[in-house]
């Protein structure tokens, strides 16, 4: 389930009994709790969980198949694999890409690589399709302690270890916001590069 995000806080204030009415031209529309609106006022699919989206479109969410256990903890929401991603599917795929990029970053990064990575993260933070997620991420990367400063000795971009910890911190920030358990960043390499010490990934 998607939390009501900070950007929706004002809208949430107007909420009554879990549903609020919104003026859209002359037409009033009921938007279920949890559905995030795009800046044009329409529901934002990549900002909303499939569960909340399906509640809005009044679709029944399929139960997991009895013979096939869900492959992830949230598969019970059953967004078919060939549908546009909801906020969770998009998030999981994106974190996989971001952490894999961090885990394969050079041990000691040359200046050119550091500049490239700063540019990538800045652009990423502007084009990420869930706009509420993107805006919070932009704010986080602008905090003095999180700034990516190419060339700074021991800085977040200086090499794989520090960049991985930065990425882990970025993800934990979202975990906290969503009320999820924080990841132990000491296990970062095992999770994203080497595989777990017990050998189950080998």
**Tell me, what DSSP letter sits at residue 192?**
I
Residues 150-169 binding ligand FAD (CB under 6 A) are: 168
Tell me which residue of 79, 74, 123, 80 sits closest to 98, measured CA to CA. Answer: 123
In this complex, which beta carbon is closest to ligand FAD, that of residue 24 or of residue 95? 95
- Choosing from 37, 54, 133, 157, the residue that interacts with ligand FAD (CB under 6 A) is 133
Does position 100 interact with ligand FAD (CB under 6 A)? The reply is: no
Q: What share of the chain is helix, strand, coil (3-state, %, to 5)?
A: 50, 5, 45
Looking at 21-159, list the stretches that DSSP marks H as alpha helix, in order from N- to C-terminal side. Answer: 50-57, 87-103, 111-127, 131-142
Does position 92 interact with ligand FAD (CB under 6 A)? The reply is: yes
Q: CB neighbours (10 Å) of residue 83?
A: 11
- Choosing from 94, 115, 146, 165, the residue that interacts with ligand FAD (CB under 6 A) is 94
- Size of residue set near ligand FAD by CB under 6 A: 26
Does position 44 interact with ligand FAD (CB under 6 A)? The reply is: no
Let me know: does 133 contact 91? Beta carbons within 8 Å. yes
In this complex, which beta carbon is closest to ligand FAD, that of residue 50 or of residue 128? 128
Does position 53 interact with ligand FAD (CB under 6 A)? The reply is: no
Does position 137 interact with ligand FAD (CB under 6 A)? The reply is: yes
In this complex, which beta carbon is closest to ligand FAD, that of residue 27 or of residue 104? 104
Considering only the C-alpha atoms of the chain, give the largest distance between any 2 of them, rounded to a whole number of Å: 61
d(CA 169, CA 83): 30
Let me know: does 46 contact 86? Beta carbons within 8 Å. yes
Does position 126 interact with ligand FAD (CB under 6 A)? The reply is: no
Let me know: does 50 contact 61? Beta carbons within 8 Å. yes
In this complex, which beta carbon is closest to ligand FAD, that of residue 8 or of residue 114? 8
Instruction: Kindly indicate which of the ranges 17-25, 115-123, 130-138, 145-153 contains the residues binding ligand FAD, using the contact rule CB under 6 A.
Output: 130-138
CA–chain centroid gap for 152, Å, is 28
Does position 95 interact with ligand FAD (CB under 6 A)? The reply is: yes
d(CA 32, CA 118): 38
Please give the residue ranges that form the binding site for ligand FAD (CB under 6 A).
2, 5, 74, 87-88, 91-92, 94-95, 99, 128, 132-133, 136-137, 168, 171-172, 174-175, 177-178, 180, 183, 188, 191
């Amino acid at each position: 389930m998607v939390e009501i995000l900070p950007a929706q806080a004002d809208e949430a204030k107007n909420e009554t009994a879990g549903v609020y009415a919104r003026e859209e031209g002359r037409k009033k529309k009921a938007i279920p709790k949890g559905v995030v609106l795009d800046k044009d006022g329409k529901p934002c699919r990549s900002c909303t969980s499939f569960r909340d989206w399906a509640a809005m479109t009044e679709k029944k969410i399929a139960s997991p198949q009895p013979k096939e256990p869900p492959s992830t903890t949230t598969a019970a929401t059953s967004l078919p694999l060939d549908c546009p991603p909801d906020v969770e599917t998009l998030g999981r795929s994106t974190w996989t890409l971001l952490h894999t990029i961090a885990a394969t970053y050079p041990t000691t990064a040359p200046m050119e690589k550091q500049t490239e990575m700063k540019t990538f993260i800045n652009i990423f933070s502007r084009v990420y399709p869930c706009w509420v997620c993107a805006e919070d991420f932009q704010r986080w990367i602008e905090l003095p302690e999180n700034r990516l400063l190419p060339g700074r000795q021991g800085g977040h971009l200086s090499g794989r270890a520090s960049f991985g910890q930065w990425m882990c911190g970025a993800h934990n920030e979202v975990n906290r916001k969503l009320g999820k358990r924080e990841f132990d960043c000491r296990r970062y390499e095992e999770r994203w590069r080497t595989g777990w010490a017990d050998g189950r990934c080998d």
